[in-house]
Amino acid sequence: MTIQEFEKLIEKHDLIEHKEYLVNQFRPAIEMLPYKGETKLGGSRFGGMPDLPSGATWPAYNDIPYVFVGQINFEELPDNEMLPKIGLLSIFASYVDDPGEEERPELFDEGGIHLIYTKDTDALAALTIPEGTKSVPATPINFSLTGDIAYNIWMEPHYEDGEYGEYGIKGKHHALRRALHPNIRSPYFNLTASNTSAYNEYFKILENKRHQLLGYYESHQLDNIDPCDEAYTPLIILDSCGVLDWDWGDGAMICISIEKDKLKEADFSSIDVYHD
């Protein structure tokens, strides 16, 4: 989405008097949209088997294998100025629904999320999932370039005591934010791909969950982070999704955040993980 398109949305949602403020806090974002199709070696997807350099071993924490969440091929992304142009980012989690009885770190603790960046993708091979390790259905994903603004509660210093209702200033802000993401924020569905009666709804549901690169982290509960902090950016936002057997805790989201300076260098060794 261009700034010009965003300005038209501001006018449509009767926020023209706040145009300068909103334009200044507008950020690019990339939606990850699952679709029904075949996966390919090195392609972007959720679940399945990870593609890593030949000879690589499955990553583990204290000898407990991670769960493979998905992989992002940066060459498949829409043109943007923040993310690498090449390489494959593989995402692993200590768990995706229930930590079980083993000593696994919490998702937001050190080691809870494990990222592997492979710059050279010419010699990739699919790794076999270790026996007893949870697997997630393989689902290819497309990308759509859009924009994002922060959740309206973070705008209170600007909107002061504005009202939330349909015609209140905070309500208008929320409607504007929803207009930037027309495909997301459906109710949480607890369905599985094996449930044949729900199969026709499978990808409809997937496409209505919020999976995003960049933008703002959506949180109205956490008071220990500021999503408007200019030194950091959300790298990956993943919504709970019953179809993918992801439940980050009561249907919550997780946000993998990174320093912008490290992102410029394609250094994914240090991240923060937030959960809401």
Q: What is the pLDDT of residues 74-86, one digit of tens each?
A: 999 999 999 999 9
pLDDT at 179: 81
Q: Which of 55, 53, 70 is nearest to 122 (CA)?
A: 53
pLDDT at 202: 39
Domains of the chain: 3-275 (2.30.320.10)
Q: Check pLDDT > 60 for residue 159.
A: no
pLDDT at 249: 76
Tell me the pLDDT tens digit for each residue of 32-72: 988 888 999 999 999 999 999 999 999 999 899 999 999 99
Which pair of tokens denotes residue 221? Answer: 């509960």
- Go through 93-117 and write b for each residue having 16 or more CB atoms within 10 A of its CB, e for each that does not: bbbbbeeeeeebbebeeeebbbbbe
Segment among 52-56, 127-131, 175-179, 211-215 with least mean pLDDT: 175-179
Encoded amino acid at 43, one letter: G
Mean pLDDT of the chain: 80
Tell me the pLDDT tens digit for each residue of 255-269: 999 999 999 999 999
For residues 233-261, average pLDDT: 86
pLDDT at 253: 83
Q: Check pLDDT > 70 for residue 133.
A: yes
**C-alpha neighbours within 13 Å on the C-beta side of residue 180:** 30
Q: Check pLDDT > 70 for residue 166.
A: no
Q: Check pLDDT > 70 for residue 7.
A: yes
pLDDT at 20: 87
Burial grade of 194 (CB within 10 A; 0-12, 13-18, 19 or more): exposed
